[in-house]
Structure 1
Amino acid sequence: MQYRRSLLATTGVLALALVAGTARAETGETPTPATGTATPGADPQIIVTGTRTTGTRAADSSAPIQIVGQSAFQNVGQQDLRQVLAQSLPSLNFQSFGGDAANLTLTAALRGISPNDTLVLINGKRRHFTANLAVLGGSPYSGSATTDLSFVPTSSIGHVEVLQDGAAAQYGSDAIAGVVNIILKNADHGGSLSVTGGQYYNGDGKTFEAALNTGFKLGDRGFANVTAEYRFHDYSRRGTYDHRYFNTDGSLKSSASARDAAGVLNNSSTPYVNTISGDSHYSLFNVALNAGYALTDGIDAYAFGSYGNRVASSNENYRPASRVVGTDATGVTIVPFPTGFTPRIGLREQDFSLTAGLKGDLAGWKWDASGTYGRDAAALYTLDSANAAAWLPIQKATTGAVAPQRNFYDGTLTNSEWSVDLDVTRDFDIGLAKPLTFAFGGQYRYDSYGIKAGEPASTYAGGAASYAGFSDTDAGVNGRKAYAAYIDVAADPVAGLHVDLAGRFEHYSDFGDEWTGKVNARYDFSPAFALRGTVSNGFRAPTLAEEYYSSTNVSPNSTYAQLPPNSRAVAALGFGALKPEKSTNFSVGFVAHPTHAIQLTVDAYQIRIRDRIVASGALVGYSKGWGTDGIVSQAIYDTILARGIQSGENLSYLGINIFANGADTRTRGIEATLTTSTRFSASDHVDWSLGFNYNQTTIQRTYGLPAAVYNAAFNQTTLLSPNAIDALTSATPKVKVIGNALITHNNLSLNLRGTIYGRTSQHISLDGTGTGDLINRTPTAFIADVDLGWKVTRAVRLDVGANNVFNRKASTVANVSDGAGGVTPADGSNVYARPISNTPWGINGGYYYARATFLF
């Protein structure tokens, strides 16, 4: 029924759009783009992404490209670029929740493929990656170590160009699914100040955002545009009671020990003692600069960059009073946490990027030479926790209670990228319908990834509860060099036909050479109809984080070691080092203008990825109760013990996770957009848009396990468990539809947006492998957003609105028998009614906000 209502709502929007478009066409007026205007004095429909031909409009592109402009930013409640793009683009989905440190750095992905397969550019230059790798298997976003969009302040952005097409031959590694090119504001005068406050309907997740943008002249030949932004977001909590101590009705379980029962009953948060399911807490400060100066009539200097500082923390599972218990020198029992404790993972992160360059025109040759340096450093901490093994001998040697150490420095992750680029373009008039555009260039890049060990107490005997620090065996700095050269030719052999050919060669010091090529073409049969298509191949180099990240993931009943693929330990188990993914892309579509007021685009695509880098399922070495001694794989078990991890009676599972070239996949889909506008007068109009995306990923081949890891009786036979397979194929929606109507009447505006998310599903099990018939299912959902704006004066605007206005809640994890007369969450987690973490619209429900914007 919900699906039918959603489909009816969207169909209604489409019907109204077509009617409005027809009425609009009769007036002969030019439609207003639904995405708004980017930079004053600039046409945001002129694109610089996916083409090296100057002056190309988005509507004339030979590849599918969408523009997200200022009105899209204005009408989204949470001013995070990840949220803005997800609520504007049907082909993009965002991560709503992450496990452990991944909850501190959330990402987004195009076309249902890994976030790592989308390249992010700033003003056409490659943006560096985050150092904080998402490592927990079973998530569609596992392994993501791409650009952190939160460090790009939205008030610095003029518009965003999203190329939904493979573009490795044009831009290099990572552009398998597409390219996000963020174009910064370049105004040399005026500015804006905006202040936003909001929270979830539940009363938590309080948010405050303030942003200042201003532009000024540099003499009479240059400009500087500067942005400062501050954002704060508080914790949210979802789910109900901790199954270890409570029944589903909130009553205390009789199986709880007296000490633990007293602890949870006297805890200040009882009965909701476990707060792991929810948003992290963070404060984020960003500054950004975009500047240019005309040195001569033929040479311009430019520079742009940003600095960001984030302090964040995320709640972990509650630990009971019995978790840390000891005796003093006289034999007296010491319980330092009589009501238990909730550890937190903390993050202090600094992100920096700077690009500087010169560009000019020499005898018709347009050239651009630049250098870019970017670095992200993430220091991780375990807070409000304790290391029982480190505390016990100290307590035992002392008379009276000794307070355990509560906060631990776990180490620092760093990722840096240095690149030098040269791009040269010239148009030649050789008698074709339009001048031929010839372009060539090259790039040198050096990437570095490092892990700095934490303090000794963070790793001793498995580390503090919830998150172990990085040990000396994890630590290290690894780097690589990459060289690239490309050539690009664009021509219009006859009127209406545009052809673009690109080729690129790249050499990486860690795995060798890669050749990529692309051909795309467009033929305009008339001003009302054009066909376009693309054939290309691409690749994605494994990130250094995927190759060398090493850590230990701890829960109350399990420990999994994340092993670096390029390590001796992994080689000893029989796995190989990572190699690049390789893709083949096809697309075909059309652009239609049935009237002057309507634009319709439809593009079908196929992306085949070979040697896809995936996060393995949970590869188990020890499972409590299995066989005679619990050993599933002696090799894995020995590897874990060699890392200093102790088995212990309280642990049910010990295992490893790795990244590997583990599958060949095929993604097929179709994207469509419809835009139109209805103008009743200069101050009364409606801008309509409808976007549709369907994609389905199927696995063509999966890779088996080495003999030392293989265990048929335990059903450990392939690298990808059912849960991990679903992460690639069904854990993100196959269908996403966005309908938008921006209604303007004099000084009032009303933006109505409805989004349909298709259903998702993923196998789950208590041991994390997903083996069995239990499936988390999220049904098709319709999410409505509304924003009401009032221009009080030309310089003052007020907005109030809500995302997920009808407060659609996430589906929750089912319960199964715990074998002792009670029930437990079926995915091995600890909280009843925990929302399914990959819910595509988020786990928190409705969010409302108010914003004031001042122009000057």
Structure 2
Amino acid sequence: MGAFSRRALLAGISGAALLTAATEVHAQSTPAATAAASADAAQVEAVIVTGTRLTGLRAVDSPAPVQVLESSALQRVGQSDLIQAIAQNIPSFNAQAFGGDTANLTLSARLRGLSPNHTLVLINGKRRHGTANLAVLGGPYQGGASADLNFIPLSAVDHVEVLQDGAAAQYGTDAIAGVVNIILKDKGAGGSVVASGGKFFDGGGETADISANVGFAPTDKAYVNLTFESRWHSHTFRGDTDPRTINTPYNTASSSRLSRYPQITGAEDYPYLNRIAGDAEYRLNIGSFNAGYQLDETTEIYAFGTYGQKFAAAYENYRVPNLIVGKDGSIPRPLGFSPEESITETDYAVTGGIKGETSGWTWDLSTTYGKDNDAVNVLNSLNRSLYIDTSTATTPGFSPSNFHAGDFIDSQWTTTFDAAHDFDVGQYKPLTLALGAEYRRDTYEIKPGDAASRYKEGSQSYPGFALTDAGKHSRTNWAIYADAALQPIEPLKLDAAVRYEHFSDFGETTVAKGTARYDFSPALALRGTASTGFRAPTLAEEYYSATNVSPTSAFVQLPPNSPAARLVGVDGLKAEKSTNFSVGFVAHPFSGLTATLDAYQINVKDRIVGSGSLFGSGGGTNIPAVLAAILANGNVLDPTVTMTGINIFTNGLDTRTRGAELVVTYPMALRDFGEVQWSATANYNETKVTKIKAPPAQLAGASLFDKNAISNIEDTSPKYRLVLGGLWSLGKFSVNLKESLYGPASNWSSRNGATWYKTEIKAAVITDLEVAYKVTGAIKITVGANNLFNRYPDRVNGLLRDEYLRNNSNGYVTMYPSFSPFGINGGYYYSKISLDF
């Protein structure tokens, strides 16, 4: 069946589902039917706690743009993880679909086209720790080490508040693009069980998930809410053949590997032996709790936390049989082998606090400790040099198949005190003065790999961390802030905040924010903000050190705070500085319709970004200082590779991001045919590099940032994104239909840094459809599809793939660009059953 015919058939099925549902239940009463739609409509009316120190402020009345996602909206997605639940509802929040190396094991997200590190994540208003698994390799998410949202059970979330505005003066470092505040359920009764399963239309990605949430009240003054979730996801593969293992016009000589090792045609999956282009497999078990006890009428003690364990494994590039040959001529893997990188991860966080009111002051004292521990392993691999060196002219060598490459450990301990008081200053409403202080300690540690993983060039695909890579690092910072909110006359709201922070390794900084909103009438209000911000580099950006390899290349990630980095002219990192401006309006042109539009500009100075590939050998421009730095860092490179070099994080760029965000909601009653909640959300975003700093003298003749590094910042986010949604409810039926328009995105790539090719993803429309039926008041069955018509992104530039083919390069395997905003796997189909009690 052709693509057009399949799309027409599926469209007919979805239309029939709507018509059948309307026919069967149009005579039923609608109060229960409209509940889901009414919940969505209430999102703009929701009382928020993010971006303001006021109590009782509704999202629709906020001086700054805040979008609220209720639990019902979060549950109406196919993939049962929090990243996808937010990304499919907030156009300016883009989720990573595919990562390189260990970044494929910890996917991330970013807001307004900036780095994942520019968005602060809070749980119940308290800072969440970041992941230890730094995204190192190039791409739009490079350098990301933000909080891993997949360790927060979706069923534990009451709602999410997304502040799309700079907020460093209110919340501190990282809040340059905005804040994601996840509010956990605090119900002391009832609960739910949800089981779901799905897979991709073209195979792979089988997913099973079960979650349970329950609330109970040990006493009439206490509540406890518990959630547990278990999820499993299998590998996908969306790649092409590997030219090294087949006959091509450029690989037909008698010396070709296929001619010399014809037995590989009998290997499983031949000729698709290189499985690197696809999802990682993972198994995830997570839990959370949220509890409180009312000591008296004004004082409550509370605690909440999460705990999770994950195993994840991703295929790396296939290794050909003759890569490893012993001195006796033995080949340990006559069919070749495909190493896997894996992590066994433990992530947890716990918060305890007490809040109350004394003499008109509301106050909150809390402390939070969070930790992420990643044990990195290499499976189904070999250490080439170890095997050869242990072989003799008459005996084969030895190498383990599985290696422990080392550990990443990240922890954060944060203690905060907040207090607020209303003062009558003779204005329309009292002045709300908020004061606070924070103390935080961050640590980051790399532990070395086992001896076999780091022997000479190390285990294939991922060398173990060397003793020179290992180390434990920490820093402390403390902050004080003040925030004043005033409404001098009824239509005017004003808010000003200032924050002072002192870091043990960066010194001090002061940032500020001003916000204003004027309501001309109940139908129209204008609002705007101006703020300064900062972001201290993560400890991982400062100290991460490892070697990234492929079958033909080896690149060392140099830590900026190292003697080796100074050999190429880099002497550590400094904090980023930012300015953020936004202006917009809130409109209610007629009953039920709410529209907000906010335009923004974010300037980031001394932005921390990963460099392009700086070659020591085998590239377009080879730099002697690069080879010297590699040796000084204590790295041993695989002698079989043809290209060597380094990558490094630097403060080498200034950027400017401009955009606009639109949110429109409108509920429409259909009399006997239920209700439709219409919504339209859109984002336009463009980032430009406004300044590239001159390379240090040691890199004369080269640039720290090649075309790939610049395009990762400027071009890999879709220029615009529009989501049109309709949630129709009637009786026991509901149908949720979303059309998402992704704007164009592009990226420049090169095989060796000499010739560059542009890969473009054209604008695409993705359809999501979900149909639900309430079997009883407590049981609901749901079927649906994300990317209903199985849309794929445009392929990688054909000229680049042709160059890979002509050079018998494994890069030919990659057919679809990893920066695709809607993934590389096509349509995902799923079903769910839920029980409420």
TM-score > 0.5, shorter chain as reference: yes
Q: Which amino acid aligns with 1:520?
A: T
SS at match of 2:217: strand
Does the aligned pair in 2 maintain the 1:161–1:180 contact within 8 Å? yes
Which residues in structure 2 correspond to 1:268-667 (within 5 Å)?
268-327=268-327, 331=328, 333-396=329-392, 400-401=395-396, 404-623=399-618, 632-646=622-636, 650-667=640-657
Give the fraction of aligned pairs with identical amino acids, expressed as a percent. Answer: 46
Does the aligned pair in 2 maintain the 1:298–1:360 contact within 8 Å? yes
CA distance in 1, matches of 2:350, 2:41: 22
Q: Which residue of 1 aligns with 2:706?
A: 721
Aligned counterpart for 2:783 among listed residues 800, 806, 812: 800
SS at match of 1:724: helix
Question: How big is the shift at 1:811?
Answer: 2.0
Question: How big is the shift at 1:404?
Answer: 3.0
Do structure 1's residue 738 and structure 2's residue 741 form an aligned pair?
no
CA distance in 2, matches of 1:260, 1:213: 58
Distance 1:812 1:679, change over 3 A: same
Question: How big is the shift at 1:375?
Answer: 0.3
Aligned counterpart for 1:671 among listed residues 661, 680, 693: 661
Superposed CA deviations along residues 418-443 of structure 1, whole A, max 9, x for unmatched, are 01100001112222111211100100
Aligned counterpart for 1:842 among listed residues 823, 829, 833: 823
CA distance in 1, matches of 2:260, 2:473: 45
Question: How big is the shift at 1:334?
Answer: 1.2
SS at match of 1:606: strand
Structure 1's unaligned 5+ residue stretches are 10-30
Q: Which residue of 2 aligns with 1:53?
A: 54
Which residues in structure 2 correspond to 1:184-333 (within 5 Å)?
184-246=184-246, 256-257=256-257, 261-327=261-327, 331=328, 333=329
Superposed CA deviations along residues 759-787 of structure 1, whole A, max 9, x for unmatched, are 111111102x4x54410111100000000
CA distance in 2, matches of 1:546, 1:798: 45
TM-score using structure 1 length: 0.91
Superposed CA deviations along residues 739-758 of structure 1, whole A, max 9, x for unmatched, are 11101011001000111111
Superposed CA deviations along residues 396-417 of structure 1, whole A, max 9, x for unmatched, are 27x6555531000011000000
CA distance in 1, matches of 2:38, 2:755: 46
Superposed CA deviations along residues 590-615 of structure 1, whole A, max 9, x for unmatched, are 00001121000000100000000001
SS at match of 2:819: coil
Aligned counterpart for 2:695 among listed residues 702, 705, 723: 705
Question: How big is the shift at 1:833?
Answer: 5.4
Question: How big is the shift at 1:263?
Answer: 4.2
Q: Which residue of 2 aligns with 1:28?
A: none
Q: Which residue of 2 aligns with 1:144?
A: 144
CA distance in 1, matches of 2:362, 2:672: 40
Question: How big is the shift at 1:691?
Answer: 0.5
Question: How big is the shift at 1:831?
Answer: 3.4
Q: Which residue of 2 aligns with 1:179?
A: 179
Does the aligned pair in 1 maintain the 2:286–2:309 contact within 8 Å? yes
Question: How big is the shift at 1:639?
Answer: 2.1
Question: How big is the shift at 1:621?
Answer: 1.1
Superposed CA deviations along residues 148-178 of structure 1, whole A, max 9, x for unmatched, are 0100110000000000000000000000000
Question: How big is the shift at 1:679?
Answer: 1.7
Q: Which residue of 1 aligns with 2:15?
A: none
Distance 1:403 1:719, change over 3 A: closer
Superposed CA deviations along residues 524-554 of structure 1, whole A, max 9, x for unmatched, are 1111110000010001110001011111001
CA distance in 2, matches of 1:75, 1:35: 15
CA distance in 2, matches of 1:664, 1:818: 32
CA distance in 2, matches of 1:776, 1:819: 13
SS at match of 1:342: coil
Superposed CA deviations along residues 295-318 of structure 1, whole A, max 9, x for unmatched, are 122210000000010001000000
Q: Which amino acid aligns with 1:841?
A: F
Aligned counterpart for 1:691 among listed residues 681, 703, 706: 681
Distance 1:69 1:388, change over 3 A: same
SS at match of 2:117: helix
Question: How big is the shift at 1:59?
Answer: 0.3
Q: Which residue of 1 aligns with 2:25?
A: none
Question: How big is the shift at 1:633?
Answer: 1.2
- Range that drifts further, 562-571 or 631-640: 631-640
CA distance in 1, matches of 2:803, 2:502: 59
CA distance in 2, matches of 1:602, 1:821: 46
Does the aligned pair in 2 maintain the 1:695–1:734 contact within 8 Å? yes
Does the aligned pair in 2 maintain the 1:264–1:320 contact within 8 Å? no
Which residues in structure 2 correspond to 1:741-780 (within 5 Å)?
741-767=726-752, 769=753, 772-780=755-763
SS at match of 1:764: strand
Question: How big is the shift at 1:706?
Answer: 1.5
Distance 1:849 1:814, change over 3 A: same
CA distance in 1, matches of 2:681, 2:228: 32
CA distance in 2, matches of 1:682, 1:159: 31
Does the aligned pair in 1 maintain the 2:579–2:602 contact within 8 Å? yes
SS at match of 1:728: helix
Does the aligned pair in 2 maintain the 1:505–1:515 contact within 8 Å? yes
Question: How big is the shift at 1:294?
Answer: 0.4
Q: Which residue of 1 aligns with 2:30?
A: none
Which residues in structure 2 correspond to 1:88-127 (within 5 Å)?
88-127=89-128
Does the aligned pair in 1 maintain the 2:243–2:251 contact within 8 Å? no
Question: How big is the shift at 1:450?
Answer: 0.4
Does the aligned pair in 1 maintain the 2:748–2:757 contact within 8 Å? yes
Q: Which amino acid aligns with 1:188?
A: G
SS at match of 1:459: coil
Q: Which amino acid aligns with 1:695?
A: N
- Range that drifts further, 411-420 or 678-687: 678-687
Q: Which amino acid aligns with 2:605?
A: R
Q: Which amino acid aligns with 1:591?
A: V
- Range that drifts further, 841-850 or 831-840: 831-840
Question: How big is the shift at 1:245?
Answer: 2.5
Distance 1:773 1:387, change over 3 A: closer
Distance 1:337 1:368, change over 3 A: same
Question: How big is the shift at 1:572?
Answer: 2.5
CA distance in 1, matches of 2:667, 2:373: 46
Distance 1:566 1:814, change over 3 A: same
- Range that drifts further, 506-515 or 68-77: 68-77
Distance 1:485 1:656, change over 3 A: same
Count, aligned residues: 811
SS at match of 2:364: strand
CA distance in 2, matches of 1:821, 1:376: 38
- Range that drifts further, 495-504 or 251-260: 251-260
Does the aligned pair in 2 maintain the 1:690–1:738 contact within 8 Å? yes
Does the aligned pair in 1 maintain the 2:36–2:72 contact within 8 Å? no
TM-score using structure 2 length: 0.93
RMSD: 2.5
CA distance in 2, matches of 1:120, 1:469: 31
SS at match of 2:750: coil
Q: Which amino acid aligns with 1:842?
A: G
Superposed CA deviations along residues 560-579 of structure 1, whole A, max 9, x for unmatched, are 00011111111222112111
CA distance in 2, matches of 1:288, 1:337: 45
Does the aligned pair in 2 maintain the 1:44–1:69 contact within 8 Å? no
Q: Which amino acid aligns with 1:665?
A: T
Does the aligned pair in 1 maintain the 2:293–2:301 contact within 8 Å? yes
CA distance in 1, matches of 2:803, 2:89: 48
SS at match of 1:141: coil
